[in-house]
Amino acid sequence: MSIFDPLGLIVNFTIKGRILIQDIWRSGIGWDDSIDEDLYHTWKLWQSDLRQIENISIPRCYSVNIPEANKIELHVFCDASKKAYAVASYLRVLTKDEIDVTLVMARARVAPTKPISIPRLELQAAVMGSRLAKTIKDTLEIKIDEVFLWSDSITVLCWIKGDGSKLGQFESHRIGEIQELTNINNWNWIPSKLNSADIATRTYNKDDGNKTTYASLFKGPDFLYELDETLWPKKNIVSLEDLPYEEIEITAVTTEEESYLPDINRFSKWTPLIRVTDWMLRFVDILLDRLRRSNRVFLGQLEVSEIQKSETLWIKRCQQESFGEDIRCIAKGKPLSSKSRLKNLSPILDERGILLLSGRTNLAPEMSISANQPIILPTKHQFTRLLLQNYHENFSHQGVEAVLNDVRQRF
């Protein structure tokens, strides 16, 4: 907060400090706790960068050639990453024999804590670039002959040059502002390696060490020093209709069905827990059948099979949370750890993936299958507590021995 940099001349340094603060906050550590090794390493790199800042000297004059310049251009570069988005603006002063390129202003913002796609962050950078270009044109007393705005996002350039009303609310509002503040014909594509704003969006890499340099931000990209504009980066922008939707990365993962179960800590009774789970699973089945265009009909009260399915899912969830390592060992045919609570119970997995007791009771064929191989439940799990409470209430609050005798027929 003590750094006074209204023009953003060292924004590629200060933004890394803001990213570090955000990463520390996301890690969830307490106010008085020590940060982890990776964050501490980043902090040390940021400290070492501070020594580079002490050596930076910036002339107040943009160019001594401005009075006799043939042309003065404003170039604004926009870029974004998962951590931040930034813009950098330059004056390009052309005379007959010389070209001067000078950094005017720069801006950078950390990305929102709520996940947002890279194209949307690039769009945010374009909005910030549009506002910065207008501010510079309105503030500088120097006459600017031409404005160039640069982005390395093909998606954003297609949005800007197309009809924003065809997109979502987030995009259409921002594209409308960009089109109002700038001329869409002034927007151009640039490869990431030539984008000066890219410097401010990079984060430290602990494997590479501290390689951050600041000279390139003040100097600007090399192509601005070329008199021949045909040597500048060029790319034809397709129409919005031809834009591939695969620009936004989507990661698909498979999850176990029981991971969709409701929060058990919000239930004080076993029966409501099972009933809510039943209706939730039925709702999911209805949606899946609509997707598959099935003709199944779901009417009336819950069926016994649905109730049994919910109970099975909760038993598996309960066992996985308490005996996950033991279940993995049994599934792989490995012996249980000597520290396992189940090592003396000879546990096995049935075809449903439920953990069962296997011992001397297997030698008693006259016993029922459930009593012969009862289901193992952890002592202190919320599901076990609700289950025992349900048995206790169903037995009209009889003694402990009577309740346990019935419970142990299955568990």
- Same domain membership, residue 200 and residue 112: yes
| CA of residue 393 relative to chain centroid, distance | 46
- Same domain membership, residue 327 and residue 223: no
pLDDT score for 204: 75
Asked if residue 6 is part of any domain, the answer here is no
Amino acid at 265: N
- Same domain membership, residue 119 and residue 205: yes
pLDDT score for 243: 52
Tens digits of residue pLDDT in 260-276: 688 888 888 888 888 88
The tokens describing 342, both together, are: 């189940």
Which residue, of 195, 222, 247, is where some domain finishes? 247
Asked if residue 15 is part of any domain, the answer here is yes
Q: What is the pTM of this model?
A: 0.58
- Same domain membership, residue 363 and residue 288: yes
Tens digits of residue pLDDT in 168-219: 888 889 999 999 999 999 999 999 888 888 888 887 765 544 455 566 778 8
Tell me the pairing of strands 71-80 and 348-349: unpaired
Asked if residue 276 is part of any domain, the answer here is yes
- Same domain membership, residue 73 and residue 31: yes
Q: How many domains does the chain have?
A: 2
pLDDT score for 364: 47
> pLDDT-derived band of residue 90, with 50, 70 and 90 as boundaries?
very high
Which residue, of 247, 277, 311, is where some domain finishes? 247
> Hey, which residues does 91 pair with through a beta bridge?
74, 102
- Same domain membership, residue 266 and residue 199: no
Asked if residue 2 is part of any domain, the answer here is no
Asked if residue 253 is part of any domain, the answer here is no
Residue 241 sits in which domain range?
11-247
- Same domain membership, residue 268 and residue 241: no
Checking if the pLDDT of 345 tops 50, the result is yes
- What distance in Å separates the CA atoms of residue 28 and residue 22, rounded to the nearest whole number? 10
- What distance in Å separates the CA atoms of residue 124 and residue 132, rounded to the nearest whole number? 12
- Same domain membership, residue 135 and residue 208: yes
Checking if the pLDDT of 76 tops 70, the result is yes
- Same domain membership, residue 231 and residue 270: no
Asked if residue 129 is part of any domain, the answer here is yes
